[in-house]
Each structure stands twice: as C-alpha cells, then as structure tokens.
Structure 1
Amino acid sequence: MPEENSFPFVRELNELRRGRGLEAADLHQRIGPCLRAACGIDGADQPAAAREKLVLRLTALCGRLPADLRLAALAAFGLHEEAAGEFLDRRISWLASVLDRDPRTARRRIDLAFRRLDELLGAPARERDAHPLAGWYVESMKAMVRLDREPADLQEERRIVAEVDELDELVLSFSVPAEPGSDPVPDITADVLFGGEIVEARQVSASHAQFVMRLPSPLCLGQRHEYGIRFAPRRTKLRPYYVLTPLRRCEEFSVRVRFDRADLPSRVWRLNGVPGRVIDDGVDSGDALTVNRVGEVGLEFHDLHQGLSYGLQWSFDAGTG
C-alpha cells in the first residue's frame, strides 16, 4: 500500500499501540523488523532487553517532536504516566480531553506524530555533536537563590534526559551580568552537591562562565539522571533579577528566591517568556508577586521556549519602573 511504502515504520508503530501499548506482555513479539533494526534489537536480546531498547529509542525520538505531537505519541504508546496501562480507546479519550478536541482529531494527531517518528527512525544515525548544547535536554529544574547571605548563591537540581548514547559529560553555563561601574570580573565558582564532579572551569567572558561536569557513569539514549550544583559569584552587587534563558529544551522550571528580610524589595514581578531586552529595561510586567513572611517568592514554569527568559525581577524603588 502507498501508506506503508511511503512510511515504512508507521505500520509497525500502529501495531505497537494496540492494547496496552508498550506495556503489553507480548511486546517483544510485536516489534517489527524495521523497528528492530532502527532500535538495535537483535535475536539474542531477551524480551526485557528488547523492550528497554525500544522504549528508550521511542522516548528519545518523541522528545524531538512538537509538544502536541509528543503528547499524542506518548499517549498512543502508553508511555505517558497519566495514560499508561489503559487500553487504546481510553488513551485516545484521555488525549482528546487534554487537547480539548474530539477523539477523531486526537487520532489524527497520533497519525501525524507517527509519520514524524517514521522520518526520525528512517534518518541516518547522527554522529555525536561536540557542541555544548548537543546530547541532552532538561526534563525538570529546581533553583534556589539565596540573597540573604554574602556572597549570594544559586543552588540547582536538574533531571536531564540523554539524547545520545555514551553521554558522559555536561557543559553547564552560568552568567552574572554586572552593574554598570562594578567590578567586571565575576569569579564564579561551582560546587557539585551530587550526581557528578567538575573537571574543568572556563571563564568565557567577564559575565559568563562554563563548567564541565563528568557524570558518575555514561548515560544511554533516553536515560535520565539527576544532579545538584551550587554556583556562587564573588560579587557584592548583583542585578535585581533571576532568570533562566534556556538554550536547549527545558520542560519544567521552578525557582524560589529568598531575600534578606532586613532589606526587602518594594516590588517583585514575574517574567514569563520575555526577550532579554525587556529585562535590561527593567520594566514592571504588571504580574506582581508577593514576598511571604519569611522573605521568599516561588514560581513555576512549563514548556519553556528556547531563547526567552523566565523568572522574576524586583525593585527597591517605590516608583512604577
């Protein structure tokens, strides 16, 4: 059939989504020859090993789809935690409710996702990219900024997902823009709390540093890893904001800032996906935040856009910015 000739993996993906999807007890018997070749599954693999290779490969490729298609594919396969274990019709109903569409539209979204996966599965294997942004993405990040101590510091906990095999190092970036007229040398330090070790520090510019962190062991494609790290700039005066500007995919980001209760800002506002120039101009977004009685403000963001900034900004002036 033309469909199968044009999209050789689609028929096999459709077979996998039947019943309980990738949770099916007979999954290893339903993996077609095209998928076996694409996922590196050979005749010597036991059912558990075949399942692992297939799930890791499809999870990684789903991560390269647009958000709606990623959701559709994960639901179809039974890989989404809220749809796992259900039969296909119920998973499609769940997807339709999340997308706020009818089941027919949800099915079309799955079909489109499978066609995109077909393209990815059929593409030649990519060589490992040496660029620091290659190889992994951030599934979740939690940040704690302490402004009630000297010097101020930032503690991050991240859960990442490997997009390549044998991922053994991460390049981590940290920027501390200086106030006009202040010392231009940030002298940023980094201390790993768990999940790796710093093997190299690079002072890229007066405001930006990079740290190479070696992982405890190499990660496989689709494997998750958690680590914690503390950054500390040796600078007494900092710009009045904290933002994350993701240059790689980032699904969830939460931040908590603890201010000095003896010197609380007069205003704090949310920055929800803004260009960097907006932050530099210091314009109040109008999305006001309240500092609680222990001097803290907490925020959460989801499905961040690369190149835009998320976080909060504050002012010690009584004016409107």
Structure 2
Amino acid sequence: MSAVDLAGELKVLRRGRGLAAPQLAERAGPALRAVCGTTEDDENAEIRRRLTDCLSEWTRSLPDDLQTAVLAAFGLHPEAGNPFYQDRVRWLAKYLQRDDRTARRRIDEGMDRLAEVAVASTNESDEAEKSRPSRRWHTEELRVALALDQPIPEAFEFRRIVADADDISELDLALTLTDSVYRGEAIGTDDLRVDVFHGGRLAGRAMESTDRVGLALRLPQPLRRHGKHEIALRFRAEIRHPHFVCVPRHPVDLFDLHVRFASPIPAEVVQLERVFQDDASDEAARGFVLTPDATGEVHVQFRNLAPGFAYGVRWRVPDLGSHGSAN
C-alpha cells in the first residue's frame, strides 16, 4: 500500500459531507478500508465508527495546524460541522486567518502527511507483531519517578506484572538511550547503571542494538498463569535528549510517570501519547502542554499502552539533550 494511493482516497472522502456522507460504504476506498480494518460486510455505521477512530488517532501525530485542517476537512472538528466541504474550508481559512487558497493548501498538506502516518503505523504494527515476544506476561501497573535534579539523573521503576501463561521465570525488559547512536558506540555499564531493589535478580544484560540494552530479570520463583509479581528497579544515566518515554514490548495497563526537573524549569513540557519512538524528539509531534508545579514536577498517566508506541513527556531546555525510555 502506498501513501500516495491512500492520500488520494482521503481527498475523495473529504468532499461533500465528509464522514457524515450517507453512502460511506461506497466512498471509502480499498486502501482506506485496509488500514482501518473494515470489511465488505460492514454497514455504514460501523465503517463511520472505524474511520472516525482511525483518522482521530492518526491526526494526533500531526502538527497543530495540520491536525485542525484535517479534522475540519472531514467534518470531525467540533466547530467545523458544516454539511458542505466549501463551508468547512471557509471556516478553516477564518480560523487560520488566511485566505481560502491557503486553507485548501494546508488541507492537502495535512492529507498527504496523514497518509504517511497511517501507512507507517500499519507497517510498524505489522513489524512489531512479527518481532514481538509471545504474549506470556503483561504489566498491570508501571510507576516511574524520574529525578532530573540529581548529579546523575535517576529513574525509580515500580512494576506489577501478571503472568498470562504458566512457568514465567524470567522477564525480558529493555531500556534505550538514544544518545549512543550519535556517539557510534555501545552502551556500557558506566553509561547505564541498573539496580534491582526487590523482586528478582538481574540475570543477563545484552545489547539489542547500538542504543538499546536488553535486560533479563530472573524471578524468585516461577509464576503460574494469572499470578502477579512486583519488582522495583533503579536506572541511572545521563539524559542528553530532552524526553523520557515508555515504549512497551508487552502490553501495559497503567503507566504513571512523575518527572522532577532541575532548575531552570523547562520553557515547555509536552505530554506524548502513542507516538512513534523516533518522533518523540521531533517538535512536530505535538501533545498536551504541561505546567510544572511549584516544586518543578509534572505528573502524567497513560492507560492501555500499545506495544511499540511511545508514551511520556518531552521538554524544551536550551542546549540540553538525551533521552531514556522504559520498555
């Protein structure tokens, strides 16, 4: 499937009443149906629901102006529910304080970018499914406290896992430090220190790539299906890229993150949810703006994390860099 084909179908779909069109089954093209998982037997209501969910999800990865343009074009923006496409274009032009031609150009740009996001998301999901370990356990609760105001930044991780099969004796964990890519060298024990406070024993450590460290945690005793177990870890590493995200390889029901910043407090802190890991440092990947409290802390929560996507925060501090990511 090509992004060009999908972009063409999206531009057809935006016409007229957009997603409110009565004969949506006839207007949704094969590429769009494929990426959204609709079938020939689906009724209009089901197709509309699936398309709305997919388009709303994909637009989260777009810059704010393109996100607004795309949502308005499809009639999904709460303030642009006009029944005709031309009226929605006029609304966008007024919103952007530009002329209609600029608004149309912004919509076209958004559609092209949206198609790229959709195709990349589909391909990445397929690759992740192929490479993902068998579903033998998942995380019920992951709580991380990241302290950036220490001489060496520290992250405390408290995790409760649930066995989805019998005889779970070892957990495969990982942590990524993007900065090693730029240095062109593997991550040594001095770059990333890992301490187990309770719940197991570190039985192995290996480089899965030039920036990703795989960790094997041996449990005190094997878990049976539905059994639960808690672990506590501490990670210490230099944070040179200003973001910290969780990119789970197994499903996570709840991710609770506290970040304590050093002075000066960042000029901007943004919450990132379900973005590609490579986009976590890209300022074009926008999210909710967070305001640190009087102690310089932010607190965010995420539920039902999808393996392979990034969840966390990004901050903007002049002349600072690195990132860590829990997996």
Task: Between 267-276 and 202-211, report the one with greater CA deviation.
Answer: 202-211
- The one-letter code sitting in structure 1 at the alignment partner of 2:229 is H
TM-score (structure 2 length as normaliser): 0.53
1:146 aligns with 2:147: yes
Q: Distance in 2 between matches of 1:199 and 1:266?
A: 41
- For the 8 Å contact 2:181–2:210, the answer to whether it is kept is no
How far apart are the structure 1 equivalents of 2:283 and 2:252? 25
Checking the alignment, whether the CA contact within 8 Å between 1:152 and 1:232 is kept in structure 2 is: yes
Residue 160 (structure 1) shift: 0.5
In the alignment, what sits opposite 1:257? 259
Q: Distance in 2 between matches of 1:199 and 1:251?
A: 26
For 2:236, give the aligned amino acid: A
Amino acid corresponding to residue 215 of structure 2 in structure 1: F
Distance 2:161 2:142 in 1: 9
Question: Is there any run of 5+ residues in structure 2 with no aligned partner, and where?
Answer: 1-131, 320-327
In 2, the alpha carbon distance for the partners of 1:248 and 1:193 equals 22
Q: Percent identity among equivalent residues?
A: 29
- Residues 183-230 of structure 1: CA distance to partner in whole angstroms, max 9, x if unpaired? 744322211111111111112233111111111111111101111111
The answer as to whether partners of 1:141 and 1:252 remain within 8 angstroms in 2 is yes
Instruction: Kindly provide the CA deviation profile for residues 68-101 of structure 1, in whole angstroms up to 9, marking residues without a partner as x.
Output: xxxxxxxxxxxxxxxxxxxxxxxxxxxxxxxxxx
Question: Aligned runs of 1:108-257 on 2, under 5 Å?
Answer: 132=133, 134-178=135-179, 181-182=182-183, 184-187=185-188, 188-233=192-237, 236-257=238-259
CA contact (8 A) 2:261 2:297 kept: yes
Question: Residue type matched to 1:247 in 2?
Answer: R
Alignment-mate amino acid for residue 251 of structure 1: D
Per the alignment, do residues 174 and 232 of structure 1 end up closer, same or farther by CA in structure 2, a change over 3 Å counting? same
How far apart, in 1, do the equivalents of 2:203 and 2:278 lie?
A: 34
How far apart are 1:304 and its partner, in Å?
1.5
In 1, the alpha carbon distance for the partners of 2:214 and 2:186 equals: 14
Structure 2: which amino acid aligns with 1:240? P
Q: Which residue of structure 1 aligns with residue 316 of structure 2?
A: 315
Deviations, residues 236-286 of structure 1 (Å, cap 9, x unaligned): 45210011112211111110111113x321100110111224323233625
2-side partners of 1:179 and 1:203: how far apart? 12
Counterpart of 1:108 in structure 2 is: none
Structure 1 segments (4+ residues) deviating >6 Å: none
Aligned residues: 186
Corresponding residue of 1:275:
276
Aligned-partner SS, 1:205: coil
Cα separation, partners in 2 of 1:136 and 1:237, compared to 1, 3 Å: closer
Give the secondary-structure state (helix, strand or coil) at the position aligned to 2:288.
coil
Question: For 1:231, what is the secondary structure of its paired residue?
Answer: strand
* Letter matched to residue 273 of structure 2: N
Contact 1:272 1:310 in 2 (8 A): yes
Cα distance in 2 between the residues matched to 1:179 and 1:143: 23
Write the deviation string for residues 160-190 of structure 1: whole angstroms up to 9, x where unpaired. 0011111111111111100775474432221
Alpha-carbon spacing, 1:196–1:286, altered in 2? closer, same or farther (3 Å): closer
Distance 1:264 1:179 in 2: 26
Residue 288 of structure 1: aligned partner: 289
CA distance 1:154–1:183, change in 2 (3 Å) = farther
